[in-house]
Amino acid sequence: MDAGSESKLQLVHRHIRAFPDFPKKGILFRDICPILKDPAALTAVIDLFEEHVKKNHKRVDLIAGLDARGFLFGPLLAQRMGVGFVLIRKKGKLPGATVSVAYDLEYGKAEAEIQADAVSPGQKVLLIDDLLATGGTLYAACELMRQQQAEVLGCMVVIELKELNGIDRVKPHSVFSLVQY
């Protein structure tokens, strides 16, 4: 990584704050809100994602963002890359015909969905979210893309919580994370 990229990464890291015991006792919550509040930090995130994509993927057709924080970074990256952006939402939030996948969370079950016409067979898609923890949501997103016969090029997150091994859940897909804890 060159000095400019390293400097951007340090800026991003400085703008992530920790909240102990949120949303419940024993959890150390990593908050990205300071990144969003600081234009330079937000630009650094998108710069670093763009650099990764250009270095590792010759062709990208779509960026798919996961509900809800993937919606913050995904459109900015998609616009920068000159590609479309699609939403992967919690069940019941999208109009029209949808395709859904059920998945397990740490403390229950959930469903993710995409509009049936959002992704075409063969399209090359990058998935983006703010955080990789246990990997359930990213796994569901990968499964949605598989159902749509799209090719998942990889997953990108701002933060990866390595001790939760979420990366194992999304294999064989690669995960690029800016900051790891």
Q: Which two tokens stand for residue 168?
A: 């194992």
**Within 13 Å of residue 65, how many CA atoms lie on the same side as its CB?**
20
Measured CA to CA, the distance from residue 171 to residue 81 in angstroms comes to 25
Candidate list 69, 89, 113, 143, residue with the active-site label: 69
Question: Using H for helix, E for strand and C for coil, what is the string for 32-91?
Answer: CHHHHHCHHHHHHHHHHHHHHHHHHCCCCCEEEEECCCHHHHHHHHHHHHCCEEEEEEEC
Any catalytic annotation for residue 106?
Answer: yes
Task: Name the helix (H) or strand (E) containing 1.
Answer: none
Any catalytic annotation for residue 151?
Answer: no
| Residues labelled as active-site residues | 69, 106
